[in-house]
Chain A
Amino acid sequence: MQFLFDRNTWQEIFGSISKNKTRTVITVIGVLWGIFIYIALSGAAKGMDNGFESMFETIAKNSMFVWAQSTSMPYEGYKTGRQMQLKLGDATMIENRIPQVEYIAPRNVMGFFGSPPATIGRKNKTGSYTLFGDFPQFTKIAPKKIYDGGRFINDEDIDQARKVAVIGERTQKELFDKDEDPIGGFIKIDEVYFQVVGVHKFEQSGGFGGDGDIFIPFSTFKKLYNTGDNVGWFSIAAYDDADVIKVEENIKNLLKNIHHVHPADDRAFGSFNLGEQFNKIVGFADGITFLSLVVGIATILAGVIGIGNILLISVKERTKELGVRRALGATPAEVRNQIILESVFLTVIAGIMGIIIGAMTLAMIDSFTQDIEFPYTNPTVPIPYVLGALVIMVVLGTLIGLIPAQRAVSIKPIDALREE
């Protein structure tokens, strides 16, 4: 092992490598390409993974929406085509009967699903905005960032049907002056005064919503628009370990039961299962990560085998040279070590170059996708992966170098010298 730390060894290897430039370049490109593919692919996969993750940051991963439609089957004396309506009581039933449900938030809206938006006014300014009637637990399902000094709707707001509102960034900009503190200020929602208690920061998320949205307590919404116990839709989050598809099915079956709908009627209630979509996407991202790992490792392998091959050819070409070296006193071990070290050295140099170029490519892609709406953030390759790749390369480089090295010493010096 001492030869490894001998400057002379490295001078000899460096000499032989740098003087056989074409050979060196060709071999290096093989491995460089492999490690580059590996780094670029797994980094890109990681970036997509991160991108999807951040897309779901604003909403619980195992959440779903359930809304009412109309029946498609007659049942218990009811005709087909009956318009269904979700009620506040349904939420209590769901919470009580389906233990996998962690949070359920009944919601109503003006400005969506055919209803006109609310007209909001302040002093001499007016505008149309989407208005939600919400419970506090809605933020457990879809966390809202509220600017300092403000808050979201709380339980007392609900109990007392307070006239308070959480407004969006855009609403603030459009209704309030630049240096004016909106908290505590009043706005008119469809001719009724509301006090602003918070401003929410808008974040692009998987669901619908915008930077102008206004939230008021569910109970206040109910009074304002005479919606009674009617609920537009439920936002529901299941526990992390729950099977979201099963939960969705249970909820709909329960609703059918409550509302006297034929158990086989799939039209009466609609739903969108974010959890299911999320699992699909995660599966997709995992698949890509795995694929890039397989492709990357296969390419590295191919590159290293390429190095072995070229070294094998070069050992044949250099038969005479190696014969001369042995006539001059090189021992078989010295010849063997030189070939193996050449192999490892080339592999590692190529590998490091591949890692650098791969990282640069990733950084470039990152800066290109910075501004566009594509789920791609922070494409990094975990350090252990990189180190692992380097270790694999050293090991493979050694192993593959063994073949030409053995070939080089298996021929007797006298025969090597006779070679033309």
Chain B
Amino acid sequence: MIEIKDLHKSYKMGTNTLHVLKGLNFTIAEGELVAIMGSSGSGKSTLLNILGMLDELDEGSYTLDGVPIKNLNETKAANYRNKFLGFVFQSFNLINYKNAMENVALPLYYQKVPRKEREERALKYLTQVGLKEWATHLPNELSGGQKQRVAIARAMAAEPKVLLADEPTGALDSTTSYEVMDLIQKINDDGNTILIVTHEEDIAHMCKRIVQLKDGIIVEDKFVEQVRASQYV
């Protein structure tokens, strides 16, 4: 599903350049649930942003579902993001003046899905994350965990090939984190490919594979025995 080869990325800051990613290689198959770990500043978000086509790589190659991702203009990148990718952010990034259902329906709007169908599908995904009753509530009426579940529903509504989550539990307490992980595991059980950036050892072990980044290189890439989050909920 995802293949990166010799991926380099550096940021120019005035006269010096900061070499953040120094030649990464990995392949992620369909249906995997991967945790990307590493200390702060190791380049986790940078990697995820490149995979999410929000940022461009300097060197190397990136193939998503057999499609080589390179030289994208903004419009093309937007279309690929819309079709292939779902995002979950640490700070939820819900649109504050839209209610839960409208937030979930937004990617479908950019897919030109008619309104009726948009709402039906949004409601379906809200039901999946257990928030059907909250459909008409604004984000500021929801708890952090509920917000993140709405964000996950929004990411899933467009039925992406890959779900990218940058510290999805970073702003949540551990109980709520496990609820969110439980949800992510269930989505993964349905066969969806998911990448999660996390700091937390326990969250990482709820995935099936852990990629360890350090100073811009992969120092460890291992499959692990998945800990089910449901037992903590």
Q: Which bracket fits the contact residues of A?
A: 20 to 34
Q: Which residues does chain B contribute within 8 Å of A94, judged by CB atoms?
A: none
Residues of chain A in range 293-319 having any CB-CB distance to chain B below 8 Å:
none
* CB atoms of B98 and A15 under 8 A apart: yes
Most B CB within 10 A of own CB, among A8, A16, A327, A414: A327
* CB atoms of B81 and A327 under 8 A apart: yes
* CB atoms of A20 and B97 under 8 A apart: yes
How far apart are A333's CB and chain B's nearest CB, in angstroms? 7
If A8-B112, A8-B115 touch, does A328 touch B81 (CB 8 Å cutoff)?
A: yes
Residue A325 contacts which of B74, B79, B106 (CB distance < 8 angstroms)? B106
If A328-B106, A329-B82, A414-B54 touch, does A19 touch B75 (CB 8 Å cutoff)?
A: no
How far apart are A2's CB and chain B's nearest CB, in angstroms? 11
If A20-B97, A327-B81 touch, does A332 touch B75 (CB 8 Å cutoff)?
A: yes
- The chain B residue sitting closest to A325, CB to CB, is B106
Residue A332 contacts which of B74, B98, B106 (CB distance < 8 angstroms)? B74
* CB atoms of A333 and B97 under 8 A apart: no
Residue B109 contacts which of A12, A20, A324, A327 (CB distance < 8 angstroms)? A12
* CB atoms of A328 and B75 under 8 A apart: no
B58 at the interface (CB under 8 A from A): no
A286 at the interface (CB under 8 A from B): no
Once bound together, how far apart are the Cα atoms of A328 and B83, in whole Å?
9
If A11-B115, A414-B55, A417-B89 touch, does A328 touch B110 (CB 8 Å cutoff)?
A: yes
Once bound together, how far apart are the Cα atoms of A320 and B115, in whole Å?
24
Once bound together, how far apart are the Cα atoms of A16 and B109, in whole Å?
14
A404 at the interface (CB under 8 A from B): no
B87 at the interface (CB under 8 A from A): yes
* CB atoms of B55 and A329 under 8 A apart: no
If A15-B102, A320-B93, A324-B93 touch, does A329 touch B158 (CB 8 Å cutoff)?
A: yes
Residue B97 contacts which of A19, A324, A326, A412 (CB distance < 8 angstroms)? A19
Once bound together, how far apart are the Cα atoms of A385 and B93, in whole Å?
46
B209 at the interface (CB under 8 A from A): no
A125 at the interface (CB under 8 A from B): no
If A333-B75, A334-B110, A417-B54 touch, does A327 touch B87 (CB 8 Å cutoff)?
A: yes
- The chain A residue sitting closest to B154, CB to CB, is A328
Q: Which residues does chain A contribute within 8 Å of B109, judged by CB atoms?
A: 8, 12
Q: Mark A317-347, 1 if CB is under 8 A from B, else 0.
A: 0001100111111111110000000000000
Once bound together, how far apart are the Cα atoms of A332 and B89, in whole Å?
21
Q: Mark A396-420, 1 if CB is under 8 A from B, else 0.
A: 0000000000000100111001000
Q: Mark B46-60, 1 if CB is under 8 A from A, else 0.
A: 000100101100000
Q: Which residues does chain A contribute within 8 Å of B81, judged by CB atoms?
A: 326-329
If A19-B98, A332-B78 touch, does A327 touch B52 (CB 8 Å cutoff)?
A: yes
- The chain B residue sitting closest to A329, CB to CB, is B82
* CB atoms of B111 and A329 under 8 A apart: yes
Once bound together, how far apart are the Cα atoms of A412 and B79, in whole Å?
15
Q: Which bracket fits the contact residues of B?
A: 20 to 34
If A320-B93, A327-B54 touch, does A414 touch B49 (CB 8 Å cutoff)?
A: yes
Once bound together, how far apart are the Cα atoms of A83 and B81, in whole Å?
102
A246 at the interface (CB under 8 A from B): no
Q: Mark B98-136, 1 if CB is under 8 A from A, else 0.
A: 100010001101111011000000000000000000000
Q: Which residues does chain A contribute within 8 Å of B83, judged by CB atoms?
A: 329
Once bound together, how far apart are the Cα atoms of A58 and B191, in whole Å?
92
How far apart are B155's CB and chain A's nearest CB, in angstroms? 9
B95 at the interface (CB under 8 A from A): yes
Q: Mark A1-43, 1 if CB is under 8 A from B, else 0.
A: 0000001100110011001100000000000000000000000
* CB atoms of A329 and B79 under 8 A apart: yes
Once bound together, how far apart are the Cα atoms of A325 and B49, in whole Å?
15
- The chain B residue sitting closest to A416, CB to CB, is B54
* CB atoms of B97 and A16 under 8 A apart: yes
Q: Which residues does chain B contribute within 8 Å of A329, judged by CB atoms?
A: 78-79, 81-83, 107, 110-111, 158
Once bound together, how far apart are the Cα atoms of A11 and B98, in whole Å?
12
Once bound together, how far apart are the Cα atoms of A412 and B56, in whole Å?
11
Q: Which residues does chain B contribute within 8 Å of A417, judged by CB atoms?
A: 54, 89, 93
Once bound together, how far apart are the Cα atoms of A332 and B77, in whole Å?
10
Q: Which residues does chain A contribute within 8 Å of B75, judged by CB atoms?
A: 331-333
Once bound together, how far apart are the Cα atoms of A417 and B95, in whole Å?
12
Residues of chain A in range 205-249 having any CB-CB distance to chain B below 8 Å:
none
- The chain A residue sitting closest to B114, CB to CB, is A8
Once bound together, how far apart are the Cα atoms of A324 and B107, in whole Å?
10
* CB atoms of A328 and B82 under 8 A apart: yes
Once bound together, how far apart are the Cα atoms of A8 and B113, in whole Å?
9
Could you list some 19 contacts between A and B, CB below 8 A? A7-B115, A8-B109, A8-B112, A11-B115, A320-B93, A325-B106, A325-B110, A326-B78, A326-B81, A327-B52, A328-B82, A328-B106, A328-B107, A329-B83, A330-B78, A331-B110, A334-B110, A412-B54, A414-B55
B-to-A contact residues, CB < 8 Å: 49, 52, 54-55, 74-75, 78-79, 81-83, 87, 89, 93, 95-98, 102, 106-107, 109-112, 114-115, 154, 158
**Beyond the given A11-B115, A325-B106, A325-B110, could you list 4 further A-B residue pairs with CB under 8 A, ordered by the A residue number?**
A328-B82, A329-B110, A333-B75, A413-B54
> 5 tightest CB-CB pairs across the interface, nearest first?
A329-B82, A19-B97, A329-B110, A331-B78, A414-B54
